[in-house]
Amino acid sequence: MVWCDELVSVLFPYLGTVLVDAVFPEDAAVHVVARTRDVVVSCPDCAMPSERIHSTYERHLADGPVGDQAVRIDLSVRRLYCENSACPRRTFAEQVDGLTVRYGRRTPACRRVLDSGITRRPGNR
C-alpha cells in the first residue's frame, strides 16, 4: 500500500494536505474520494482560529486529466463557526490550499490548464 500512496502523491501532489480515502476508476474517469484533516482553521474575515464544526458537506471538483482519464475529486469539507462574537461572519467553509477556491468547481491546476488553452488559441489575442 505504501507504493500506492507514493503514486498518488506523485500524480496528485496537492492532495498531500487532505486524507485520501479511495482512488478508483469509474465511468472513464479517475475518482478520488478525500476529506480534510481535523486542523484548526482561521476565519477569513477576522482570522480568529476555530475548531467548532457547524456541519460538513461534499464538494465535487474537476481536475486535469491523468493519461486519457478525466479526474473527479469528491472532497468532504467542514463548515465552522467563527468564535469571534464581534465578527459579522457566523460560519465559514474551510478551503484547502492548492485544491479549492471559494465557489470553485475546478482545482487551481485545472483552471490554469483551461486558461492557458484559451490564450493560446490561434486568432485569440
Angle at 53 between CA 85 and CA 102, to 5 degrees: 85
* pLDDT score, position 125: 47
Is residue 63 in some structural domain? yes
Is residue 43 in some structural domain? yes
Is residue 114 in some structural domain? yes
- 36-89: pLDDT as tens digits: 998 999 999 999 999 999 999 999 999 888 888 889 999 999 999 999 999 999
Grid cell in block for residue 60: 465535487
* pLDDT score, position 66: 80
Q: Is 113 exposed, middle or buried (0-12, 13-18, 19+ CB in 10 A)?
A: middle
Is residue 125 in some structural domain? no
Q: Total domain count for the chain?
A: 1
C-alpha distance from residue 84 to each of 5, 53, 79, 93 (Å): 39, 14, 15, 16
Q: What is the pTM of this model?
A: 0.79
Range of the domain at 54: 2-119
Measured in whole angstroms, the distance separating CA 94 from the mean position of its chain's CA atoms is 10
Is residue 6 in some structural domain? yes
Is residue 124 in some structural domain? no
Is residue 96 in some structural domain? yes
Parallel, antiparallel, or unpaired for β 69-81 and 29-36? parallel
* pLDDT score, position 94: 94
Polymer length of the chain: 125
Is residue 85 in some structural domain? yes
